[in-house]
Structure 1
Amino acid sequence: MGSALTTIGLPVALGIIMFGLGLSLTLRDFARVAKQPKAVVIALACQLIVLPVICFGLVVLFRLPPILAVGMMMLAASPGGTTANLYSHLFRGDIALNISLTAVNSVIAVFTLPLITNLAIAYFDPFDGALGMQWAKTLEVFAIVLLPVALGMLVRHFWPGFAKRMDKPVRIVSVIVLVVVIGGAVASNWQLLIDNFGRLAAITILFCLISLAVGYWVPRLFRVGRRQAVASSFEIGIHNATLAIVIAQTVMGSVELSLPAAVYGVLMFFVAFAFGFVIRGKAGVEEREEDGDAAPDAEPEASASRA
Structure 2
Amino acid sequence: MGLAAVALPFALAVIMLGLGLGLAPADFRRVLAHPRATVVALVCQMLLLPAVCFGLVVAFGLSPVLATGMMLVAASPGGTAANLFSHLYGGDVALNITLTAVNSVLSVVTLPLVLNLSAQHFLGDGTDLGLQFGKTFQVFALVLIPVALGMYVRSRAPRLAERADRPVRIASVAILVLIIVGASLQERDSLGGYLRELGPVSLALLVCSLSVGYWVPRLCGVERRQAVASCMEIGLHNTTLAITIALGILGSSEMAVPGATYGVLMFFAAGAAGLLLRRTAPTATAAPVTSVPESEHP
2:218 is matched by which residue type in structure 1?
R
- Structure 2: gaps spanning 5 or more residues: 286-298
Work out the CA distance in 1 between the residues paired with 2:213 and 2:158: 33
Q: CA RMSD in A?
A: 1.6
Who is 2:268 aligned against? 270
User: How many residue pairs get matched?
Assistant: 285
Structure 2 residue aligned with 1:50: 48
Q: Distance in 2 between matches of 1:117 and 1:101?
A: 21
CA distance in 2, matches of 1:118, 1:128: 12
Counterparts of 1:209 and 1:184 in 2: how far apart (Å)? 26
Report the Cα distance in structure 2 between the residues aligned to 1:94 and 1:266, rounded to whole angstroms. 24
Task: Work out which of the residue numbers 213, 219, 222 in structure 2 matches 1:215.
Answer: 213
Q: Which residue identity is paired with 2:38?
A: V
What is the match of residue 14 of structure 2?
16
Q: Which one of the candidate residues 135, 158, 161 is aligned to 1:163?
A: 161
- Answer with 1 or 2: which has the greater Rg: 1
Distance, in Å, in 2 between the alignment partners of 1:185 and 1:110 is 23
Q: What residue identity is the alignment partner of 2:156? A: F
Deviations 1:208-263 (A, max 9, x none): 11100000000100111100000000001111111000001111110111111110
Q: Structure 1 residue 283: deviation in Å?
A: 1.2
| TM-score normalised per structure 1 | 0.89
SS at match of 1:260: helix
Partner-residue secondary structure (3-state), 2:280: helix
Higher helix proportion (structure 1 or 2): 1
| Partners of 1:6 and 1:181 within 8 A in 2 | no
Report the alpha carbon displacement of residue 126 of structure 1 after superposing the two structures with TM: 5.9
Q: What does 1:37-116 correspond to in 2, within 5 Å?
A: 37-116=35-114
Q: CA deviation at 1:178?
A: 3.3
* TM superposition shift of 1:185: 3.6
Query: 2: distance between equivalents of 1:54 and 1:181?
Result: 26
- Name the CA shift for 1:6/1:129 in 2 (closer, same or farther; >3 Å): closer
SS of 2:102's partner is helix
Confirm or deny: 8 A CA contact 2:19 2:80 kept in the other structure. yes
What is residue 139 of structure 2 aligned with on the other side?
A: 141
Distance (Å, rounded) in 2 between the aligned partners of 1:268 and 1:169: 23
Residue correspondence of structure 1 range 148-227 to structure 2 within 5 A = 148-227=146-225
**Does the 8 A contact of 1:197 with 1:263 survive in 2?**
yes
5+ residue gaps, structure 1, are 289-307
